[in-house]
Amino acid sequence: MPKSKYEFIYKDLKQKIESEEYAYQELLPSENQLVLAYNCSRNTIRRAVGRLVTDGYVQTMQGKGVRNIYRPVAQTSYTIGGIESFKESSIRNHKKGRSVVLQFMELTADEKISRRTGFPVGSELYYIQRLHFLDEKPLIINHNYFLKSAACGLTPEIAENSIYEYLENTLHMTIVNSKRVMTVEKITQIDEKYLELDVNDYNCLAVITSHTYNSDGVMFEFTQSRHRPDYFRFQDNAVRRSVS
């Protein structure tokens, strides 16, 4: 049971679009029709449709209607979405995921770590290095730094399963948003070894650096994800806005 009405409508419409109940380029029912169908106010419909717009599922046209522009994609590789744990995206991509903890240690942020992660000097941190497999293929090396005061009680066993599951379900933390930067970097010896790469083949990989915040407003996680280039794929839908 979804907690809100507009979220129910959003998911219902999304599912109808994905199952091609509306054809590509077809107009959805008008807002007023949807108001009757879902027995709610126009604002509620508009909120649901707004999410579909940002998802790139539909586009709205003043005076005309709401057009379905969703195309089912052949997912040849691993796709990244919002904020997800590796476990969650494995499930979404219908693949079998497995994680191995390469390192697990506690440390205190010095000048160098502080510059790299954004945590203040002196912060008590967990540092975790993990290798993620998808269908038994090593695809991602993660370097996680968690603020000990926010993620206390982490163990290698938890890290092997799902850290987010622990933070959300056991510590009852609410993860809110994540600022990410994507770059391309040279591979290191560690990458080469664990991701089974050959420098003569690819000598770079895709790197996602993220600062993640919880509902207390504290940046509790800094992560660098290093992705095998031949399996990396990041999807996005951008909306054009007036050039101010």
Partner DNA sequence: GCCGATTTGTCCGTATGTATC
Partner DNA sequence: CGATACATACGGACAAATCGG
> In 10 A of CB 144, how many CB atoms?
22
Does residue number 244 form part of the binding site for DNA (CB under 7 A)? no
Which residue lies nearer to DNA by CB, 40 or 190? 40
Distance between CA atoms of 87 and 162, rounded to whole angstroms? 7
Among 93, 180, 190, 192, binds its own copies (CB under 8 A): 180
Which listed residue (1, 19, 23, 39) binds DNA by CB under 7 A? Answer: 39
How buried is residue 65: exposed, middle or buried, by Cβ count under 10 Å (0-12/13-18/19+)? middle
Q: How many residues bind DNA (CB under 7 A)?
A: 27
Binding mask 60-89 for DNA (x = CB under 7 A): xxxxxxx-----------------------
> Rounded to whole angstroms, how far apart are CA atoms 18 and 92?
14
For DNA, the binding residue among 15, 20, 30, 81 (CB under 7 A) is 30
With H, G, I as helix, E, B as strand and everything else as coil, classify residue 83. Answer: coil
- For the beta carbon of residue 49, count every other beta carbon within 10 angstroms: 20
- Find which of its own copies, DNA, none residue 204 binds, CB within 5 to 8 Å per kind: its own copies
Choose the stretch contacting DNA; rule: CB under 7 A; options: 14-22, 54-62, 204-212, 233-241: 54-62
Could you give phi then psi for residue 158, rounded to 5 degrees? -65, -45
Alpha carbon dihedral 104, 110, 115, 118, in 10-degree steps, equals 60
Q: Does 152 bind its own copies (CB under 8 A)?
A: no
Q: Is 189 helix (H, G, I), strand (E, B) or coil?
A: helix
Identify what 238 binds: its own copies, DNA, none; CB under 5 to 8 Å per kind: its own copies
Site for its own copies, rule CB under 8 A: 2-3, 7, 11, 25, 53-54, 56, 59, 61, 67, 69, 82-83, 88, 175-186, 202-206, 213, 215, 217, 229-230, 232-244
